[in-house]
Amino acid sequence: MRKKNIKIVVAMSGGVDSSVTTWLLNKKGYNVEGIFMKNWEEDDDHNNGYCASSKDLKDAQAVCDSIGILLHKINFAEEYWNNVFEKFVNLLKIGITPNPDVLCNKEIKFKELLNFVLFNLKADYMATGHYVRRVERHKKFFLLRGIDDNKDQSYFLYHLNQFQLSKCLFPVGNLRKRQVRIIAKKYVQVVAKKKDSMGICFIGPKNFTNFLSRFIKSNPGNIVDEKGQVVGIHRGLHNYTIGQRKGLKIGGISKGNGKAWYVFKKDIKKNELFVVQGNNNISLTYKGIIVTNVVWINENPLNKIFNCMVKTRYRQSVVYSKVQVISSDSVVVIFDTPVLAVCPGQSAVFYDKHICLGGGVIEKGFILHKQ
């Protein structure tokens, strides 16, 4: 089939990566169109310091106009609220810290949006600006880490199945970020200097606590050290995650040894936040985890026990581990070297070198000593 007869719709965010993706595919001669997905009804959010999608839409439209292609718009705000945000908030309320980007990719971008692109817009493929690669070997599709280790986003896409991979393209996965910036500076100048978005667009890091206060009632309680001594007051357990150091506001207290404080446990029933000092504290050090809701990109492991590399956070380096399959969707992972600050609700993603095998949700961790 000639390239001009292959229709590719690019999921455009108004950012650098999806814009360069669009330019690259158009340059190669494909029949390219863009689609902008709105996931949040802003109301007055732009006046409260949150990111309004109107600016991103304007940028996406400007890119499409400069290339000379059509831009579709679609609103998935209701689907996002029902299938991502409500789940996110409800888990926070019970002390679990989920990853909203994993949820959004699973429920919205590679489900609702992909289906719309394929069946409503009659596209052959959907392309995104994710830093991952996909390859086909022996009629099976594999998800590979992006060439740029610092930007690799396979951690967020471990849920992709064979059909989704067969219909998705990731052009910038074969490039490094600096190369993408160079292309943008030369050919997609309207977004060339735009900063990378981090997490949920409309919840900037500085606004996260204020934003959540609109949906979760604040319930202050005691911050307690390992000895059971009260060392401060927290603003509601949903505002904290295991391993968190910043924002505790207990650094200047007279108690302690002068080292930084870190969250290591939450007690929902007592509404207490437990902290320890020092990032190498044994209470923050885990030897293994239980992972549930596990999915495999290609096929379930034939062996009940196998070795692979594991990530328990996006920015964490992979850790060599032993994985024991205990059911069709759950495993036990034992790390070769201890891992700091394992957080229930986050994803654990499995790798065989550069190949992403799959992943699941961390249910609990095993620390190096019994509390």
| Residue at which a domain ends, from 206, 232, 257 | 206
Residue 104 bears catalytic tag: yes
Residues 168 and 63 in one domain: yes
Residues 71 and 155 in one domain: yes
- Is 252 annotated in a binding site? The answer is no
Q: How many domains is the chain partitioned into structurally?
A: 3
Domain harbouring 306, CATH code = 2.40.30.10
Write the pLDDT tens digit of every residue in 313-337.
Answer: 998 999 999 999 999 899 999 999 9
DSSP state letter for 248: -
Residues 267 and 344 in one domain: no
- Is 14 annotated in a binding site? The answer is yes
Which structural domain, as residue segments, surrounds residue 291? 284-367
Residues 176 and 41 in one domain: yes
Provide the pLDDT for residue 202.
46
| Residue at which a domain ends, from 166, 184, 206 | 206
- Is 19 annotated in a binding site? The answer is no
Do 57 and 73 meet the contact criterion of CB atoms below 8 Å apart?
Answer: yes
Catalytic residue among 64, 168, 201, 343: 201
Q: Which backbone phi and psi does 188 adopt, to 5 degrees?
A: -130, 60
- Is 17 annotated in a binding site? The answer is yes
Residue 170 lies in a domain: yes
pTM for the predicted model, two decimal places: 0.92
Domain harbouring 242, CATH code = 2.30.30.280
Catalytic residue among 104, 168, 343, 356: 104
Residue 151 lies in a domain: yes
Residues 193 and 305 in one domain: no
| pLDDT by residue, tens only, the chain of 371 residues | 788 999 999 999 999 999 999 999 999 999 999 999 999 886 544 445 555 688 899 999 999 999 999 999 999 999 999 999 999 999 999 999 999 999 999 999 999 999 999 999 999 999 999 999 999 999 999 999 999 999 999 999 999 999 999 999 999 999 999 999 999 999 999 999 888 865 554 454 446 677 888 899 989 999 999 899 999 999 999 999 999 999 898 865 656 667 899 999 999 999 999 999 998 899 999 999 999 999 999 988 877 999 999 999 998 999 999 999 999 899 999 999 999 999 999 999 999 999 999 999 999 999 875 44
CA distance 103 to 84: 6
Residues 247 and 130 in one domain: no
- Is 146 annotated in a binding site? The answer is no
Structure tokens at 70: 């059509």
Residues 137 and 223 in one domain: no
Provide the pLDDT for residue 44.
46
Provide the pLDDT for residue 203.
52
Domain harbouring 134, CATH code = 3.40.50.620
Structure tokens at 335: 């790390």
Residues 91 and 138 in one domain: yes
- Is 11 annotated in a binding site? The answer is yes
Residues 186 and 333 in one domain: no
Residue 201 bears catalytic tag: yes
Residues 79 and 10 in one domain: yes
- Is 16 annotated in a binding site? The answer is yes
Residue 225 lies in a domain: yes
Secondary structure, 3-state, 54-97: HHHHHHHHHHHHHHCCCEEEEECHHHHHHHHHHHHHHHHHCCCC
Residues 223 and 352 in one domain: no
Provide the pLDDT for residue 126.
98
Provide the pLDDT for residue 1.
75
Residues 273 and 295 in one domain: no
| Residue at which a domain ends, from 147, 180, 206 | 206
Residue 211 lies in a domain: no
